[in-house]
Structure 1
Amino acid sequence: MPLSTAAASADHPARRFASTLSPDDFKAVFRGHPGGVAVITADAGDGPVALTATSVSSVSAEPPLLIFSISSLSSAAGVLARAETVVVHLLDANDIDVAQLGATSGIDRFADAERWSRLVTGEPVYHGVRAWVRCAVVERMAAGSSTVIAAHALQAQLERDVVPGDHGDALVYHNRTWHRLGEHSRLG
């Protein structure tokens, strides 16, 4: 069965188990689980879209694959459902303004023409962020009220590298708040 339809199947294991976990309880569990912050941009021909996500994760180095999820309620969901390519911006604390821009509803995230441009391949990219990765979408999977997108990394730009073992000004989202990791947060 193709990955994109497996979760929708009536005989899928997720459909056979009763759950007593409410949506609010599920959100509360994950509120205490911090996530790295990224902004995903795309353009499927109708103009650029952007959204902030904490669900980006690397899957494989060979071939270079990553995944992320988008809510069907996102204003960018329709474009991301059609886009063949995306740009995943991996942010640090210096990029908090880009993170907030992608997370703010009801605004034109591309109104400031000096903040972004298009790659020669056409995708919208924000300037000066820690790193970005241009990816080809290779799979979409319906997952509840979201879509999980798997993408093959094609090109990357790294503005601010992180020295192995250093905190690197990481930006995380935890308990509905932005946080900067630093020396003070190191435990080991």
Structure 2
Amino acid sequence: MPASKVTIDATDSLSADDFKAVFRGHPGGVSVITADAGDGPVALTATSVASISVDPPLLVFSISALSSAADVLSRAATIVVHSLDVHDLEVAKLGATSGIDRFAQSQSWTRLSTGETVFDNVRAWVRCDVIQRIQAGTSTVIVARALQAHIERDAQPGELGDALVYHNRSWHHLNENSRLNG
């Protein structure tokens, strides 16, 4: 049985709670972003990562000013975006947990020869140059140019692989049972 319909009246703008309610029902792919501006690495889990151009190769994501990683991401020249699948759920949870040292030995990580921090054995990662920061409300939108990538586990075109998505405050695994044929 479908959930009841809810209509939110128009005002100058939606409340934060109403806006969150709209996007809770919009699933997002899961990434972990790492950065280091010289004070030690930070990591955060994000569902806002999107590719915006292939030539040049650009991606975009946003970060809330309330995030513990916001200060470092406002200063870091480079970042690493880890594209996760279901095998990387613990890394996703690690980046989403506040108040902990995300680089304690609970997860295996290394530094690239260029200095960036990467989590080992994740589905894929891309090292990027930050080329633009745009203030948008209480968040910063970061545009980055891809410099280097590594793919540990790849799905063939048209296959689901083991995709990890976040939807309505919980983790989900896309698989053959979730595929819609149309």
Shorter chain as denominator, the TM-score bin is over 0.9
Determine the structure 1 residue equivalent to 2:140: 147
After TM superposition, the structure 1 = structure 2 runs for residues 37-186 of structure 1, keeping only pairs within 5 Å, are 37-112=30-105, 115-186=108-179
Alpha-carbon distance in 2 for matches of 1:20, 1:130: 39
Shift of 1:102: 0.2
Name the TM-score, length of structure 2 as normaliser.
Answer: 0.92
Which of 12, 24, 34 aligns to 1:31? It is: 24
Q: CA RMSD, aligned part only?
A: 1.0
For residues 64-119 of structure 1, the C-alpha deviation after alignment (integer angstroms, 9 at most, x for no partner) is 00000001000000000000000000000000000000000000000117610100
Shift of 1:173: 0.2
How has the CA–CA distance of structure 1 residues 160 and 186 changed in structure 2, closer, same or farther, with 3 Å as cutoff? same
**Secondary structure at 1:178's aligned position in 2?**
strand
Corresponding residue pairs, total: 171
Q: Moved runs in structure 1, 4+ residues, more than 2 A?
A: none
Q: Which amino acid aligns with 1:65?
A: L
Alpha-carbon distance in 2 for matches of 1:19, 1:149: 27
Alpha-carbon distance in 2 for matches of 1:183, 1:19: 43
Determine the structure 1 residue equivalent to 2:15: 22
Q: Is the 8 A contact 2:107 2:119 kept in 1?
A: no
